[in-house]
Amino acid sequence: MEYKPSPDAEEVDRWKEVTLVYNSALKEIGTKLEILNDEFQHVHKYNPIEHIKLRLKSSESIVKKLKNRGLESTIENMVEYVNDIAGVRVICSFTSDIYRIAEMIAEQDDLTVLAVKDYFKSPKPSGYKSYHMLVQVPVFLSNRVVEVKVEIQIRTVAMDFWASLEHKIYYKYEGDAPEHIQKALIQCASMVSDLDQEMLALNEEIQKLLDEE
């Protein structure tokens, strides 16, 4: 008797394939960024990227996101409507590096920039600052090429520290943190912004002195 996989088994196999493809896309983006950072160091004697974080969204988080949008939890809907299944976080030292890195990414011939959200110039009401790019990268499998969406977030070390704390707080309170905590977060975001500006000014002054030497 020939074995016929149950619908559930077929869905599991399909999800494993989707996971494989998104993981491959993350590896491609990660390698690209490392090469760009190495090249920048070679040419300019400076690394704009402090470190890179790669993250694949959990199936539970994806299902929750679809449910919040009133969508059925199918693999088709996951791929079509959830843009941050694969996420890359690029952490840089200074605010001036944010657009430099974004430009280097956009100039990659095999990447397509689908959308940009500049929360650096227009922060969220919470004080959140970051530069988001939604890109599409081709993943070459043995029998076909799959175009995969990857969300790239670019922010400074200070911004990342603040965003990490905000995420933990809002996760704990399920998006409804007490008002005094929300106000404290906004104040901290302002302090982070001031710190980033001061550190950038200090770095530019040091660089100017080095150039004069």
CA distances from 80 to 25, 73, 140, 165 (A): 16, 11, 20, 30
Mean pLDDT throughout 208-212? 82
Query: Residue 201: what pLDDT?
Result: 95
Residue 30 lies in a domain: yes
Q: For residue range 5-37, what is the model confidence (pLDDT) as tens digits?
A: 444 667 778 888 999 999 999 999 999 999 999
Q: Which domain holds residue 23?
A: 7-158
Q: For residue range 72-126, what is the model confidence (pLDDT) as tens digits?
A: 999 999 999 999 999 999 999 999 999 999 999 999 999 999 999 999 999 999 8
The CATH code of the domain that includes 97 is 3.30.460.10
Query: Residue 2: what pLDDT?
Result: 36
What 44-48 contacts at long range (C-beta under 8 Å, 24+ apart), as own/partner pairs, is 48/92, 48/93, 48/97, 48/100, 48/101
Residue 195 lies in a domain: no
Dihedral pair phi/psi, residue 110, rounded to 5°: -95, 10
CB 112 within 8 A of CB 48: no
Mean pLDDT throughout 185-213? 90
Q: How many domains does the chain have?
A: 1
What contacts 149, CB < 8 A, 6 or more positions away? 83, 85, 86, 114, 134, 135, 136
Pick from 125, 126, 118, 124: which is nearest to 95 by CA?
118
Asked if 147 is an active-site residue, the reply is no
Q: Rounded mean pLDDT of the chain?
A: 90
**Which residue out of 2, 28, 107, 151 is catalytically annotated?**
151
Residue 87 lies in a domain: yes
Residue 47 lies in a domain: yes
Q: For residue range 138-176, what is the model confidence (pLDDT) as tens digits?
A: 999 998 999 999 999 999 999 999 999 998 887 777 777
Under DSSP, is residue 138 helix (H, G, I), strand (E, B) or coil? Answer: strand
- pTM, two decimals, is 0.89
Sheet of 131-140, strands arranged across: 49-56, 86-92, 145-156, 131-140, 112-118
Residue 169 lies in a domain: no
Q: What are the percentages of helix, strand and coil residues in the chain, rounded to 5?
A: 55, 20, 25
Pick from 28, 32, 153: which is nearest to 87 by CA?
153
Residue 179 lies in a domain: no
Residue 141 lies in a domain: yes
Residue 188 lies in a domain: no
Query: Residue 33: what pLDDT?
Result: 96
